[in-house]
Structure 1
Amino acid sequence: MKSVVTLVASALLASVAQAQVVQWDIAKRHVGPRFAKRQDGTFTEVITNEKTRGGYFASCQVGTPGQNLTLQLDTGSSDIWVPSSSASVCDQDSQNSGCTFGSFDESASSTFSVVGENEFTISYVDGSHSKGDYVADTFEIGGATLNNMTMGLGLSTDIPYGLVGVGYALNEAIIANTQSASSAYDNLPVLMQKQGLIATNAYSLWLNDLDANTGSILFGGIDTEKYQGELTRINIYKDSQTNAFSSFIVALTSLQASSSSGTDTLTSSELPVPVVLDSGTTFSYLPTDIAEQMWQEVGAAYYTQLGLALLPCSMENSDGHFSFGFGGSGGPVINVTMDELVLPLTDEPQQFPSGPYEGQDICQFGVQNFSSSPYLLGDTFLRSAYVVYDLVNNEIGLAPTDFNATGSNVVAFPSEGAQIPSASAAPNQAEVTQTSGSLSQPTYGASGGFQNHDAESAASLLPPAFDWSRIAVMGASMCFVMVGSGFFLLI
């Protein structure tokens, strides 16, 4: 999730005693909580990919005895928060379906304590919110137990599930509320390090493909069997206003469209584009100028009634891919294919009622536009990459993912501050600081391979005029999934 409020001060990091890893496995469909500790000292946890809820969810236990909750995993925020069982949103009545992913009954935990009464507040851009107390309790994930884990307790919330935020401590809600870095507490990865579960504050993310049943987030290590080629390290950049590390901002320095009919270099006046690698965002959001070029390549049309670029669902089988380059020339390049960029508009299929795509099922394109930086690369990008988040050295490791890999070779960070194992630095990152953005229209030579027709036909795909009222209502109901879960405001 992208923080809108600017934060101040520097990161707080802790030392640990030994090198271990904690891993959550990711599954596409909802499963009950499973906890297992392996002989090598690593930990495994199931996370579910809930498409209609807009992200990846982890089964956890909170309190003593442990209560099962399933929480959204989010690299773009930094707090764990859980809905209280007393919150009205968790009541099952004619208006609410209840907190089907679980809620927390604080009165049933013998280890529960309040550490900040009425100090937890998060509001999202769609108007949803969660407010309550900061609390401390036992938190178990992947068989690893953390004592006195600080969390937000949503006593007044209209969101029926909570989050596991694993970003920088400076992005915690309490800091925005107090405007003081001294308010920072030990969030999940920091506490894992302090309690000796991992050697350094770092983790790797492997979401696997859109239809996969397994994936993982691995705290304290990398898995060399989950990516292709070599890992390349790129810099995380400080917030330009606060001069502090508060989110995973990296430099997108190139973007190409390639298909059987050609390759186009896409441009933007924003290049190099500051982007946040954010698992809490279902879609990706880029500057309008470069997003429009991507839409043109694939024949997507933008509908102002919905604020979305739409295209036929059949385009998921289209030839072609987009190559995202980072860290200047010689930096890592991640190819994203169309089957990762075409997502349903609604739970039930809907068809274009008129225009060039009349009668075809409607889908959303996985890259939408946004008006200001930093921009976001969410799950539609992250599934194609193996990403290592190093919060001590302030670096990201990137390599193309190995979809549906079955092997595993976990390599732990040996000590606090150790660099990402088996990774080399991008050689020309100095050029990223140069402002070289320009805007020129590509020839759209690749569009024919994407769409199986020529570029002239692609240019004619303008949205027809018809009544989208029914679909607009359905689309609006997904606003929190597509936008709210990726853009949030700390107040």
Structure 2
Amino acid sequence: MRGLKIYALAVFLAISEGLELRHSTETPRVVQFPIERKRHILNPVSRDRLRRRGAVKGDLDNKDTLYLFNVSLGTPPQTIRLHLDTGSSDLWVNTPKSELCSKGLRPCTSTGMYSANASSTYELVASDFNISYVDGSGAEGDYATDVLKLGGKSIEKFQFGIGYKSSSPQGILGIGYAINEVQVGRAGKRPYLNLPLRMVSDGLIKSTAYSLWLNDLDASTGNVLFGGVDTAQYIGQLQTLPIQRVGGVYSEFLITMTGLSIGKNIVATDLAQAVLLDSGSSLSYLPNALTEAIYKLMGAKYDENEGAAYVPCAYAQSPLTIDFAFSGPVIKVDMSELVIPVTGINDQGPVSFTDGTPACLFGIAPAGSGSSVLGDTFIRSAYLVYDLENNEISIAQTNFNATENRIVEIGAGRKAVPDAIPVPNSAPARSGTELNNGKVNSSIRTISLMSSNY
């Protein structure tokens, strides 16, 4: 693709102040965080590929998630902006003493830092916090406890990591399975109560479950709702799918995709392909054979150097949808969610093909040898309930730009997600849950994708 140099737009989401909702015994116990979308010029394909190579390894974390919200740690409170990550399980923060944060440009200033010496309620737990990223960066330091405040709630003696040595300017709040905590994977210790577990233990919510909805590509807000479901934010009824095990263990949010179609064109049936629901991935990544079929139907032009495909921006106005099937549920994704505007580096203006046609990034890319991922280009169209207690995902079509809220509490025990029905005879994954050096891999064969020279 010598005639086209593209630096893609990625979407970042920043949280406004957490909102406490209905905490009396007669009304739902939930904690809600509204999410505000912000845009930056980045290359999401390069960023996503670094993340996905280690997405399912217990000792790896997601450095570049897309949700920011405010919490405070310590006494007096120190305000910190954290990335919300469904793919990891620890909360960790930077400190002003780290080499990275004390550099001339002070890259950690915008998201905040934590100083143990400035808190009267700080307590050291152990000096074995060590989190690694697939690109060689990471953070190491201490595990500690302190007062955590978020969403109008306070949690005392909450365990978290302090990155005295760090190469990532943003801290992370992981809300995944506790088996992915650093002290489990690195130190061989038993898991501690991370945020979803502590919320249940402290009576803030009844179940380790939360809902996530992003709204459409152009919207400015989305939400994460701990312990509840907002029935106004989706269409139809929630349908419940089992999470697939990896190596016999529940550790990642993998569900089984069974089919895909574009308009009236059936692209694939009887897939039984495990796909990772990853809110930290800008694009979606599917097996190469499936991706090639999509590109052929769409007329997308694939660039091997970029690892992604491009289509005319006018495709965003197409009435076609790409429909993802999961045994019973089908999520329809509009072309407007998959055709992503891009700009040149340093804001040099819109990019185009060599014939002058405006070019846009297409929101599905080949997974290669990595795991299949449904990222934001899919998740924006799906209302998702992550039920860690029952190892299930409930899913429905998003109701874009809903104007009301109807929040219902998620109870404890089986079938606790309100307005959700189990998918009968849901297919187990036949591909995509194999472990290779700790990673999930797809067994669908690798093929050569079409390339193009402009």
Compute the TM-score of the two structures, normalised by the length of structure 1. Answer: 0.75
1:281 aligned partner:
281
Change in 2 beyond 3 A, CA 1:364/1:133: farther
Following the alignment from structure 1 to structure 2, what is the Cα–Cα distance between the partners of residues 410 and 401? 15
Choose which of 233, 237, 241 in structure 1 pairs with 2:244: 237
1:151 aligned partner:
160
Choose which of 235, 251, 256 in structure 1 pairs with 2:261: 256
2:377 aligned partner:
380
**1:249-305 per-position Cα deviation (integer Å, ceiling 9, x unaligned):** 1101111111xxxx211238x921111112122221111111222223333222222
Following the alignment from structure 1 to structure 2, what is the Cα–Cα distance between the partners of residues 65 and 463? 58
**1:341-367 per-position Cα deviation (integer Å, ceiling 9, x unaligned):** 233445635555654xx3344432222
Q: Secondary structure at the match of 1:90?
A: coil
Identity %: 37
1:334 aligned partner:
331
Q: Secondary structure at the match of 2:232?
A: coil
Following the alignment from structure 1 to structure 2, what is the Cα–Cα distance between the partners of residues 142 and 428? 39
Q: Secondary structure at the match of 2:71?
A: strand
Deviation, structure 1 residue 403:
0.6
Deviation, structure 1 residue 398:
0.6
Q: Secondary structure at the match of 1:88?
A: coil
Following the alignment from structure 2 to structure 1, what is the Cα–Cα distance between the partners of residues 353 and 398? 38
Deviation, structure 1 residue 45:
3.3
**1:352-408 per-position Cα deviation (integer Å, ceiling 9, x unaligned):** 5654xx334443222212134642111111111111111111111111011111111
1:187 aligns with 2:187: no
Change in 2 beyond 3 A, CA 1:97/1:220: closer
The 8 Å contact of residues 210 and 383 in structure 1, kept in 2 or not, is answered as yes
The 8 Å contact of residues 50 and 56 in structure 1, kept in 2 or not, is answered as no
Following the alignment from structure 2 to structure 1, what is the Cα–Cα distance between the partners of residues 31 and 37? 19
1:199 aligned partner:
206
**1:151-194 per-position Cα deviation (integer Å, ceiling 9, x unaligned):** 1222222211111111111122222213x3x4211111011001
Deviation, structure 1 residue 97:
4.0
1:33 aligns with 2:21: no
The 8 Å contact of residues 74 and 146 in structure 2, kept in 1 or not, is answered as yes
Following the alignment from structure 1 to structure 2, what is the Cα–Cα distance between the partners of residues 363 and 174? 43
Structure with higher strand content: 2
The 8 Å contact of residues 15 and 69 in structure 2, kept in 1 or not, is answered as no
The 8 Å contact of residues 200 and 418 in structure 1, kept in 2 or not, is answered as no
Following the alignment from structure 1 to structure 2, what is the Cα–Cα distance between the partners of residues 32 and 248? 26
1:210 aligned partner:
217
Q: Secondary structure at the match of 2:236?
A: coil
Amino acid at match of 2:285: Y
Q: Tell me how large the CA RMSD over aligned residues is.
A: 2.9
1:422 aligns with 2:419: yes
Change in 2 beyond 3 A, CA 1:152/1:365: farther
Deviation, structure 1 residue 144:
1.6
Structure 1 stretches lacking a partner, 5+ long: 1-26, 442-458, 466-491
1:60 aligned partner:
71
1:267 aligned partner:
268
Following the alignment from structure 1 to structure 2, what is the Cα–Cα distance between the partners of residues 313 and 252? 28
The 8 Å contact of residues 130 and 159 in structure 1, kept in 2 or not, is answered as yes
Change in 2 beyond 3 A, CA 1:67/1:101: same
2:125 aligned partner:
115
Change in 2 beyond 3 A, CA 1:89/1:365: farther
Change in 2 beyond 3 A, CA 1:255/1:189: same
Structure 2 stretches lacking a partner, 5+ long: 1-10, 41-63, 432-442
